[in-house]
Copies of this chain bind each other. A is one copy, B any other.
Amino acid sequence: MNFPLKQIPERTLAPRSYGLTMVMDKGMGIVDVKNFLSVAAPYVDIVKLGFGTAYVTNNLKEKLAIYKENNIPVYFGGTLFEAFLVRNQLDDYIAAMKEYGVDLVEVSDGSISIDHAEKCRHIERLVKEGFKVLSEVGSKDASHVMPPYKWIEQMSAELSAGSTYVIAEAREAGNIGIYRGTGEVREGLVQEILTKIPAEQILWEAPQKAQQLYFLELLGCNVNLGNIAPAEIIPLEAMRIGLRGDTFDLYLDKK
């Protein structure tokens, strides 16, 4: 760190298995990738190329190479997985990921309806194919509200099937899944999930500051957070350790 400040909570160090920041890259330019890594690389654990943006991004290989040089794992958004799956092209997707040297994959059903057992079989297959799997729970459809026991059931089954992390869905705007339409956290749901699923294996999508704050207060500075905008990595890191107004008092020794 740049200054000798006392009473700063201890963050896990890269490469982290807990305390992750997953960044949402929804089509950044090549220079911009180098740019945000110049100041924030130590705090970037995983990058998601949001939804289907990888399909239309020019010079994709060059961009992926920069992440690779920085040892930052990248995956394509779950919407792309679903787009291949719904077209009966899962084999093509696997081939494409291998061609691009992407070895992390998101398995989701945010825009499609599939049987949960089938979803787990996809997870198992992808693990067998050598991928590290992140699987996402929670629909992108606002009208489809799942009761907590279903979240727990699905998360458990997906971890058993081989997912390294389960992602709690929030959509890019942060207003669905574990959040209400207003972006407010469904606190009862979150707390119930935590009675059964280890926090270390959940990646909470939390694009809004108030959402990040909620999880920091609940689970501490090393909570796994995702869908962080590139410009918000440094602000989030400052907030994680109590150097933003919102968390200023969180770790202070009050005597």
Contacts and interface: CB of A to CB of B under 8 A. Distances in A.
Interface string A88-120: 010011001000100000000011100000000
Interface in A134-150: 140
A46 interface: no
A53 interface: yes
B96 A3 contact: yes
Contact of A26 (B37, B42, B50, B234): B234
A245 B79 contact: yes
A32 interface: yes
A194 interface: no
Contacts of A52: 238, 241-244
A241 to B, nearest CB: 7
A39 B41 CA distance: 21
Given A6-B89, A248-B79, A238 B53 contact: yes
A43 B59 contact: no
A241 B56 contact: yes
Nearest to A240: B56
A27 B87 contact: no
Interface residues of A, number: 67
Contact of A92 (B3, B60, B231): B3
Contacts of A231: 26-28
A30 interface: yes
A55 B96 CA distance: 40
Given A39-B63, A58-B41, A241-B56, A31 B34 contact: yes
Interface of A: 1-7, 26-32, 34-43, 50-60, 63, 79-80, 82-84, 86-87, 89, 92-93, 96, 100, 110-112, 140, 171, 231, 233-235, 237-238, 241-245, 248-249, 252
